[in-house]
Amino acid sequence: MAEVLFEFTQVGACVRVAAIDAASGVEVVVMAPAASARSDLERLALQKLERRLGGGRTPDRGR
């Protein structure tokens, strides 16, 4: 399984979450209200990353 890195950056009233597949370097970004739960943001970014990678594998949620 691949490792996924998450990066959280506050941008005003929003937070930018980048999910990066460590093996391939593929990165996706989601934006959401800063008050959103971190676990929800990780799940959303991970789902987007899985779609980008073709959905054929489930990466580890490493930090």
Per domain, the residue ranges of the chain are 4-52
Name 20's Cβ contacts closer than 8 Å, sequence gap at least 6: 4, 5, 6, 7, 26, 27, 49
pLDDT of residue 2: 77
Q: What is the pLDDT of residues 4-57, one digit of tens each?
A: 999 999 999 999 999 999 999 999 999 999 999 999 999 999 999 999 999 655
pLDDT of residue 1: 38
Other Cβ atoms less than 10 A from the Cβ of 41: the count is 21
pTM: 0.81
Other Cβ atoms less than 10 A from the Cβ of 61: the count is 14
